[in-house]
Structures are given as C-alpha cells and as structure tokens.
C-alpha cells in the first residue's frame, strides 16, 4: 500500500493554503492508515470528522479569496470543490456505520482528487492571487 502524503509537487506557493492542504493530506493519510490497520471505530470517526471539518473550512477559505480577487475561473474551481463536497457527504454516513470498504473508496477518490486539484486548479489560483498581491504594491 502506497501511503498518501503531501509533496512539493502539490505546493501552490501560498503558505496559508499550503498549510491547510497539508492538514487535509495528513488526515486523508491517517484515515487510509486507520482503515488498513483496522483501527477502532472511534478512531476512524475522529479522523473522518477532522478531515471533513478541515476540508469544509479550507474550501470556504479558498472560495472567499477567489471571490475577493474576482478570479475568472471561480465557477470552474468551485465546481471541483462541489464534487469533493458531494463525495464526502455521500460516504461519511456509510463510514460512520462501520462500512470499511466505503472508507477505502473515499480515500481512493480523495487521493486522486487532491493530487489533480492541487497540482493544476489550486496552483492556477495561487498564481493569480500572488500576481494580484504584487500588482497592489505601489
Ligand atoms: Fe481548491
């Protein structure tokens, strides 16, 4: 099993956003670990809820930054967040009921989604926000 982790290729070069991403990657890796090692259900719950909360807060944060910057690709970016939100909502109750397979499926979805989303979509957003910040310095 390849353990899921954040690497430099996932960097978007906005320190606060990179920190939030690392926390989400960390929670996803912990969930993967807990499911594969058949950790007690209370532990799976704790990790799952930390993952959901950090993801929701993070998406809201990025969307606020993009709105503030009048980012043109906002709808496209938000649509990707919506896909992940939908999957989390769909899988969370199953995992809470103890469905380990559902947990593994969610981890598989997230590992692909997070890698695709951070390396392209978030990196483009990062470039836009950094550029805007530079343009405001007089
Ligand atoms: Fe994003």
pLDDT tens, position by position, 97-130? 999 999 999 999 999 999 999 999 999 999 999 9
Contact (Cβ atoms closer than 8 angstroms) between residue 4 and residue 25: yes
Beta-carbon contacts of 129 under 8 Å, excluding residues fewer than 6 positions away, are 14, 65, 66, 69, 71
Q: What is the distance in A from the centroid of ligand 1 to the CA of 54?
A: 13
Q: What is the distance in A from the centroid of ligand 1 to the CA of 39?
A: 30
Contact (Cβ atoms closer than 8 angstroms) between residue 17 and residue 133: no
Token pair in block for residue 34: 């807990």
Backbone dihedral angles phi then psi of residue 13, each to the nearest 5 degrees = 65, 35
Q: What is the pTM of this model?
A: 0.94
Q: What is the distance in A from the centroid of ligand 1 to the CA of 24?
A: 12
Q: What is the distance in A from the centroid of ligand 1 to the CA of 77?
A: 6
Distance of CA 54 to the CA centre of its chain: 8
Q: What is the distance in A from the centroid of ligand 1 to the CA of 38?
A: 31
pLDDT tens, position by position, 29-66? 999 999 999 999 999 999 999 999 999 999 999 999 99
């Amino acid at each position: 099993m390849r353990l899921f982790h954040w690497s430099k290729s996932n960097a978007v070069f906005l320190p606060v956003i990179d920190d939030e991403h690392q926390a989400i990657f960390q929670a996803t890796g912990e969930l993967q670990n807990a499911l594969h090692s058949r950790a007690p259900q209370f532990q799976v719950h704790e990790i799952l809820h930390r993952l959901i909360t950090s993801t929701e807060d993070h998406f809201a944060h990025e969307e606020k930054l993009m709105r503030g910057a009048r980012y043109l690709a906002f709808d496209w970016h938000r649509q990707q967040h919506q896909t992940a939100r939908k999957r989390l909502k769909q899988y969370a109750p199953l995992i809470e009921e103890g469905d380990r397979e559902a947990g593994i499926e969610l981890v598989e979805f997230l590992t692909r989604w997070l890698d695709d989303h951070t390396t392209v979509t978030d990196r483009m957003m990062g470039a836009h926000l950094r550029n805007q910040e530079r343009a405001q310095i007089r």
